[in-house]
Amino acid sequence: MADPKKPKAPTAKATKTAAVPPPAAEATPAKATPATAAASKASKAAAAPKTSPAPVARVQLRVGDPAPSFSATITDGSTLHSKDLLGKRVVVYFYPRADTPGCTTDACGFRDAHADLLKSGAVVLGVSADPVKSHVKFTEKYQLPFALVSDSGASVAQAFGAWGEKVFMGRRYLGMHRMTFLIGGDGKVARIWDTVKPETHAAEVLAAVRSL
């Protein structure tokens, strides 16, 4: 039975087809000379987009180093100052983009472990280059109980060494690396994860927090 709400496709009216004149004969292209071929090649090379970004030296933090200080806008629109977190254990995890498969799995893992992380005295901060509006949607969609930092200028990521060249399907570009830093109450880096498996990452971080 036809759905009364579904719009019907418009019925085409019969029209008389005008006679179409035959196409004019195509002109035979001029034979390329070595000079014209070289000029054409140079022109195409100049017009081709450059995908390789300028090299960016990534900061190499080590365990025991003082954690970088920063100020940034978080989910609720307020400004977070890292100095206000001194004395607390802080989990700072960097992720490429909100609401993508790996990043969602990672965020939901921290969400599910959040109560235990709080009991262990840890504050969780997720950091990406997404705007605040995107973070709000991500937080509401998955009920994330921790703050997300909007690092649109990548200043926080660069300070931690989580921003740099990446390669995807042969294309090189600058972006956020999936990394996590555990900062102790003394403000120093206690643990670094530069290889993250989203499915088990939150459990690994919780174990590390409990061991401090």
The residues annotated as belonging to the active site are: 103
Question: How far, CA to CA in Å, does 202 sit from each of 62, 71, 103, 193?
Answer: 21, 25, 12, 11
Task: Count CB neighbours of 65 within 10 A.
Answer: 13
